[in-house]
Amino acid sequence: MTINHHPDITTLMAFSAGTLDEPYAAVVATHLAMSEGGRESLRQINAIGGALLNDEPEAELSNGALDRLLDSLGDEDDRITVTEPAAAQARAADALPLPLQRYIPGGLESVRWKWTGPGVATADLAWGKDGRSRLMLLRVAGGRRVPEHGHGGQELTLILQGAYKDRFGVFAKGDIADHDEDVEHQPIAEPGEDCICLVAVDAKLTFQGRLMRALQPLFGI
């Protein structure tokens, strides 16, 4: 599998530093599980960050700092609710990269899709917290197009199945599109199988067509 599109360097640096919201971190982690080139870029960023930390002067820890750190590590919620035998879940999730299996333990076939437009469907993925960011799946039927749109904030889109093309090129399995509010595009799914994407967004899309703007509250994107 050849992967040609990777996250922006600033996105990888934020992932390395642990400052990305969970939806964005989930998309990046899934991409890294699929991309050796992405993992090598992250290793280089981590090495640079480690070297910079080594040059920093030592700082004294306040009393109880270690205890507070250990307590915070124990506060993480288990976001996967097991609703079927573990062996069946494992088989269904085999095709999914490991970081994504916690959000879709039953695999893609278990997803409940919501119609969003002709040939387009979405499914929100629960990630355990109420926040502005949103983690979801997007499915576009082969040969169909998503209406031309921009972004109110950052959008990360990772291809899990199929492919699409837009003015930035062709995005296939493992590729990631890292767009900000300055980008406008119209993805068109390649003919054949459905294009399924993992998407993180922090704002509504901004559609160009008057009809799509009027219908946007109904579609919820």
The domain that contains 12 carries what CATH number? 2.60.120.10
- What pTM was estimated for this model as a whole? 0.75
Q: Which residues constitute the domain of residue 48?
A: 1-221
Looking at the structure of the chain, the number of domains it has is 1
Per-block mean pLDDT, blocks of 10 residues, the chain (221 long): 90 93 95 94 86 61 68 51 41 74 92 89 81 87 81 86 93 93 83 94 64 48 57
- Looking at residue 197, what is its pLDDT? 95
The whole-angstrom separation of Cα 133 and Cα 81 is 21
**Residue 209 CB burial class (10 angstroms; 0-12, 13-18, ≥19):** exposed
User: Across the beta sheet with 184-185, what order do the strands follow?
Assistant: 184-185, 149-151, 205-207
- Looking at residue 108, what is its pLDDT? 92
